């Protein structure tokens, strides 16, 4: 645990907001396994090369994101796969698009593992009476599925997705909706996430949150206006910080 702004850690927070993807679990291994499974299935189904799949999928993703901008549906694996099939000259192929999407998420979840200590931290926060919420991008259905899969549905008080908010982070809406739901007793809010722009800059600028960045392989520590107030690589270290602050209150 590295604290860069000591004055912001003089007491327990009144509420804590958590990002999900790549914060509570390591996103990259799960995504890579899922993308590989879909690639192999498409290659086998249509006798195309892996390179053709990668090129078409990359272009499909680019087009969907360009059209939908910073909305939950811009992350839709189903839309990527539908557009990929169209780019390959195969039409929308609705049934296959659905099948490929299910392959992706089934493989993704089976390869996704919570970071050590996540549930311990959440247990501690509940005992200390600190309310918690998830503030996450992407559509509600898949984010709800992740929360249930990880067994976290009884650990968090609330969840806000960018589908509900209408905007991805760092837009103010997801943060503000979470606070409206939580109604914290004070203004000391923590935002915990991995993304230096969406989570750290967004949390600080939109709700004046104390920001903590989860860092691990593939995550770069934020700098400048994206610099967190603290960073940690292990949830067990975060747990120690919370325990220490709980003793001071």
Are both 149 and 135 inside the same structural domain?
Answer: yes
Closest CA to 198 of 249, 105, 113, 135: 135
- Which active-site residues does the annotation give? 19, 21
Give the end of a domain, one of 110, 126, 149.
110
pLDDT grade, residue 156 (50/70/90)? very high
Are both 233 and 186 inside the same structural domain?
Answer: yes
Q: What percent of the chain has pLDDT over 90?
A: 95
Tokens (6 digits) for 57: 């999928």
pLDDT in tens, 170-195: 999 999 999 999 999 999 999 999 99
Give the end of a domain, one of 52, 79, 110.
110
Are both 143 and 225 inside the same structural domain?
Answer: yes
Closest CA to 219 of 207, 203, 232: 232
Are both 122 and 244 inside the same structural domain?
Answer: yes
Give the end of a domain, one of 65, 84, 110.
110
Choice between 66 and 247, residue whose per-residue pLDDT is larger: 66
pLDDT in tens, 27-53: 999 999 999 999 999 999 998 999 999
The pLDDT mean for the chain works out to 96
Are both 53 and 13 inside the same structural domain?
Answer: no
Are both 10 and 35 inside the same structural domain?
Answer: no
Mean pLDDT of 59-74: 94
Are both 77 and 105 inside the same structural domain?
Answer: yes
**Spatial separation of the C-alpha atoms in residues 222 and 228, rounded to whole Å:** 6
User: CB neighbours (10 Å) of residue 10?
Assistant: 9
Looking at residue 247, what is its pLDDT?
A: 75
Q: Are 167 and 174 in contact (CB under 8 A)?
A: yes
Provide the number of structural domains found in the chain.
2
What is the model's pTM? 0.94
Are both 131 and 13 inside the same structural domain?
Answer: yes
Looking at residue 248, what is its pLDDT?
A: 60
Q: For strand 2-3 and strand 230-232, is the pairing parallel, antiparallel, or unpaired?
A: antiparallel
Q: What percent of the chain has pLDDT over 70?
A: 99
CATH number, residue 229? 3.40.50.1000
Are both 172 and 238 inside the same structural domain?
Answer: yes
Domain that holds residue 199: 2-26+114-248
Are both 141 and 231 inside the same structural domain?
Answer: yes
For residues 128, 219, 201, 130, the Cα torsion angle rounded to the nearest 10 degrees is -10
Mean pLDDT of 129-146: 96
pLDDT grade, residue 246 (50/70/90)? confident
Looking at residue 249, what is its pLDDT?
A: 58
DSSP string for the chain:
-EES-GGGGSS--SEEEE--BTTTB-HHHHHHHHHHHHHHHHHHHHT--HHHHHHHHHHHHHHHHHHH-SSGGGG-HHHHHHHHHHHTTS---HHHHHHHHHHHHHHHHHT--BPTTHHHHHHHHHHHT--EEEEE-S-HHHHHHHHHHTT-TTT-SEEEEHHHHSS-TTSHHHHHHHHHHH--SSS-EEEEES-IIIIIIHHHHHH--EEEEE--TT-PPP-GGG--SEEES-HHHHHHHHHHHHHH-
Are both 146 and 200 inside the same structural domain?
Answer: yes
User: CB neighbours (10 Å) of residue 227?
Assistant: 17
């Amino acid at each position: 645990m590295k604290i860069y702004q000591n004055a912001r850690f003089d007491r327990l927070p009144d509420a804590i907001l958590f990002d999900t993807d790549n914060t509570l679990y390591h996103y990259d291994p799960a995504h890579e396994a899922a993308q590989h499974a879909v690639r192999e299935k498409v290659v086998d189904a249509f006798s195309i090369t892996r390179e053709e799949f990668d090129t078409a999928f990359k272009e499909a993703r680019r087009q969907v994101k360009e059209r939908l901008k910073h909305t939950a549906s811009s992350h839709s694996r189903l839309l990527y796969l539908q557009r990929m099939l169209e780019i390959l000259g195969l039409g929308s192929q609705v049934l296959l698009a659905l099948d490929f999407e299910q392959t992706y998420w089934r493989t993704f979840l089976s390869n996704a593992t919570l970071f050590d200590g996540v549930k311990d931290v959440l247990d501690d926060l509940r005992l200390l009476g600190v309310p918690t919420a998830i503030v996450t991008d992407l559509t509600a259905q898949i984010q709800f599925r992740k929360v249930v899969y990880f067994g976290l549905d009884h650990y968090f008080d609330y969840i806000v997705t960018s589908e509900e908010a209408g905007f991805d982070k760092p837009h103010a809406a997801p943060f503000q909706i979470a606070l409206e739901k939580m109604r914290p007793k004070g203004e000391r809010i923590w935002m915990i996430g991995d993304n230096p722009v969406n989570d750290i800059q967004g949390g600080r600028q939109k709700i004046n949150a104390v920001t903590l960045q989860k860092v691990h392989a593939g995550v770069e520590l934020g700098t400048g206006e994206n610099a967190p107030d603290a960073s940690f690589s292990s949830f067990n270290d975060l747990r120690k910080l919370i325990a220490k602050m709980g003793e001071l209150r």
